[in-house]
Amino acid sequence: MNIKTEKIQLPGHETWTLFQLENDQGMSVHFLNFGGIITNISVPDRNGDYKNVVLSYKNFEEYLENSGYLGALIGRVAGRIKQASFQIDGKEYKVEANEGEHHLHGGSQGFHQRLWQASSFENDGEIGVTLSCLSPGMEGGYPGTLKVEVTYRLTNKNQLVIDYAAETSQTTVLTLTNHSYFNLSGHPDTTVHHHTLRLNSARFAELDEELIPTGEWLNLKETPFGFQNQRKLSSSLSYETPQQIVVNGGIDHYFLFDGYNKPDILLKDEKSGRTLEIETDQPGAVIYTSNNLPAGKDLAKGQTKKHGGICIETQSYPASLHNSGFPEIVLTPEQPYHKRTLFKFGTETTQ
C-alpha cells in the first residue's frame, strides 16, 4: 500500500494537494484537500481492466466553480433548506439563498470550497488521510463554532471508508456527505441507464416543483422508484410520473433505509461486471441521477451530460427543520457527530 502526493498550483490560488492512495490489489483513490474532492476511484472489471468509476473534470480549474459538486464534501448541511432559514430553540437563523429562495449544500462557500488541513496515516491493512477544518460560529449564517474531521480510508479489501466527525460549541444543524457521481462502466461518455440498483428502502420523500420536500412520504411500490429488488435505472430515468417530472426526468429524492438488511445499497454495471455495495449508519440517502448536471464540461474522458452518473448521498435530511417525521440534523455540544459510510467495490464473473 502506498500514498503519493502531488501539488496543484492554479494561478491566483493557494496550492492544493492531490492525494493518491493505492492498495495491494491495485485499487486507487485520488482526492484533493480542496473541497475533499474525489477525482478518481480506479477499480477492475471482471477481466481485470482498471478504470476510473467516478466523474472527474479534465482540468482542475473546473473545481473552482464546480456547479455540479463533482466528488465534493458537502456541508454544513447537505441538501436543501426551505426558504434558507430554520429555527433552533425558537430563534431564527438565516443562511444564504443560493438556489432561488432556498439554501443548497452549505451555500456557495460551503465545505466543497474549503481548503482542508490534511494528515496521512497507514495502519494494518489500510491507508488514509484525515481532512480537518474549523468553521467559526455564524459562518454562512450557521450558529456554533464547528470542528470537523473527515477521514478517507482505503483498505486491502477494496473498500473506501469515509468517516465524518464533528463537535460544536453550541446547538446547530449538521449533516455531511460526499457528492461523487458513479459510473461503474468506466466510460463517462455513456449514461447509467443500464446500471441496476437495489435499495433497502420502502419510502421516499415527496418533492414540490422547487425540489423542496412537501412533508409527505411516498410508498416506493406505487412509483417507478421501487428498487427493493435489483432493477435497471432506465425504468426511472423518464418523465412518466409527477415526481419524475419535477426533478427533470429521473431521481433526486431522499430514501429512508429500512435498517433490516445489508448492504443498504447495491449498484451494478452488468456489462463490466463492476459492483458497488454501500453500508452506512446514516438513516437514508439522496439518490440523484444527474438530471440537472450542467452539460458540456470536459471530463477526464468525455463530457458531462444528463444521466452521466449517479450520486448516492448518505445523510440525514434537512426537511426535518420544517416537518416532523424526518431524520433530525440538530447537533448539540453534548453529543458529537460521528457517521460512517463504506463503499465496497467488487465484480461479478458472469454477464
Known active-site residue 179: yes
34 Cβ partners below 8 Å, 6+ apart?
8, 16, 63, 114, 115, 116
Residue 76, preceding bond cis, omega within 30 degrees? Answer: yes
- Rounded to 5°, the CA angle 139-144-145 comes to 75
Whether 195 contacts 268, CB under 8 Å: yes
How far is residue 4's CA from residue 8's CA, in Å, rounded to a whole number? 13
Whether 257 contacts 205, CB under 8 Å: no
- CA-CA-CA-CA torsion for 290, 193, 268, 75, nearest 10 degrees? 10
**Which of 149, 206, 277, 313 does the annotation list as catalytic?**
313
Q: Which of 144, 148, 168 has its CA nearest to residue 95?
A: 144
- For the stretch 83-88, contacts whose Cβ atoms lie closer than 8 Å and that sit 24 or more positions apart, written own/partner, are 86/173, 86/318, 86/321, 86/322, 87/321, 88/143, 88/171, 88/172, 88/173, 88/330
Known active-site residue 313: yes
Strand partners, 164: 150, 339
**Which of 105, 179, 253, 307 does the annotation list as catalytic?**
179
What's at 161, amino acid-wise? V
How far is residue 226's CA from residue 237's CA, in Å, rounded to a whole number? 13
Whether 84 contacts 95, CB under 8 Å: yes
Residues designated catalytic: 179, 313
